[in-house]
Amino acid sequence: MKRAVCIALAAAAPLLAQAQETTLRVVSAFPENQFYVKRTIEWIDKINREGKGVLQINFIGGPKAIPTFEVGKAVQSGVVDIGFTTGAFYTNVMPEADILKLSETSAAEQRKNGGYELINKIWAEKANMRYLAKVVEFTPFHLYLNRKIDKPDLTGLKIRITPVYREFFQSMNASVMTTAPGEVYTALERGVIDGYGWPIHALFDLNWQEKTKYRVDPGFYNAEVGLIMNLDKYKSLPAKAREYLERQALAYERQNDFWKSYNQNEAKRQAEAGIQTITFDAATSKAYVEKANEVGWANAIKASPQYGPQLRKVLAK
Ligand code: 173
């Protein structure tokens, strides 16, 4: 009898170990053919290789699985565990999400100056989320156009936006239209828009260089792409799985210097593809960037009188 119990326990041991392994479901708000997503899938592959028996991640897909602007809600409600997205795509969960674009301090600095804790306080309280890591930064946004301008005036132009650019482009009299990245190519092809806001990089991933004539320099703000997780799921993880996930997320974030050289090369590629730059005189350029920041913070504080000013302390320099 005793022996039988021993044998039964021995047989169950691997099953018990397996029961400790957690599997998380991840979706991307960016199209799967974007380099961002490929890089994230490589990160997931590494997690799965090294995390056997502890943590596995199942990549569900891009906007075909969950539409770009619904990923935040899916993470908030726990329909998925983790979202790969940017704050501008989940302002329908909380307006604070889009404020991260105003970061002048780096993710590494925000881990030290209280920024990371503040972000997680807000994300937990208002969105039922844990902000795991920022994995794109050091990346300005630009205005791309198919019509030439000689001053920062967009009167009569229809520009594709997300919340990132709305108030800034409207302050230059643009008429604006919000779309997910996956719809920009067709809008350009059909001439529905005269331009769009987008980072300095990742144009080629979606072939937009084929339909783009000009880039306005300088850029403004600082693109943020991150990994957000359902807070209940995060809290329910076994300690070992949570530590492992956090370690891997931090290791991914620590590679962000990668974007500095990548972006230089992307600007070069744009020039080689025939995209011309539109620049203004020095005073106008300076005013352009200052206006972006002014409009950005004014809107952030209006949208979140409670947290806008607190975020400013840790994000601005
Ligand atoms: O333009 C966008 O779709 C957008 O808001 C964004 C934000 C961060 C990275 C890439 C795009």
- pLDDT given for residue 19 in this prediction: 63
Pocket test of ligand 1: the residue of 198, 200, 221, 259 to mutate, having most ligand atoms within 8 Å of its CB, is 198
Longest dimension (CA), the chain: 90
| Ligand 1 touching residue 199 (CB < 6 A) | yes
Which tokens belong to 90?
């989940």
Closest CA to 80 of 240, 222, 186, 230: 230
| Ligand 1 touching residue 248 (CB < 6 A) | no
The partner residues of 84 in beta bridges, in order of sequence, read 28, 227
Which tokens belong to 217?
């320099």
- Strand 82-85 to 22-28 pairing: parallel
| Ligand 1 touching residue 86 (CB < 6 A) | yes
| Ligand 1 touching residue 263 (CB < 6 A) | no
User: How far is the C-alpha of 242 from the C-alpha of 143, rounded, in Å?
Assistant: 40
CA 254 to chain centre: 16
User: How far is the C-alpha of 282 from the C-alpha of 298, rounded, in Å?
Assistant: 24
Is 86 exposed, middle or buried (CB count within 10 Å of its CB: 0-12, 13-18, 19+)? buried
- pLDDT given for residue 18 in this prediction: 55
Closest CA to 119 of 109, 131, 105, 108: 131
Mind listing the pLDDT tens digit of every residue in the chain (317 residues)?
445 544 444 455 555 555 689 999 999 999 999 999 999 999 999 999 999 999 999 999 999 999 999 999 999 999 999 999 999 999 999 999 999 999 999 999 999 999 999 999 999 999 999 999 999 999 999 999 999 999 999 999 999 999 999 999 999 999 999 999 999 999 999 999 999 999 999 999 999 999 999 999 999 999 999 999 999 999 999 999 999 999 999 999 999 999 999 999 999 999 999 999 999 999 999 999 999 999 999 999 999 999 999 999 999 99
The helix or strand, by DSSP H or E, that contains position 219, with its residue range, turns out to be strand 214-220
Pocket test of ligand 1: the residue of 39, 68, 86 to mutate, having most ligand atoms within 8 Å of its CB, is 86
Take atom 11 of ligand 1 and give the residue whose Cα is closest.
Answer: 198
* Amino acid sitting at position 8: A
| Ligand 1 touching residue 132 (CB < 6 A) | no
Take atom 8 of ligand 1 and give the residue whose Cα is closest.
Answer: 223
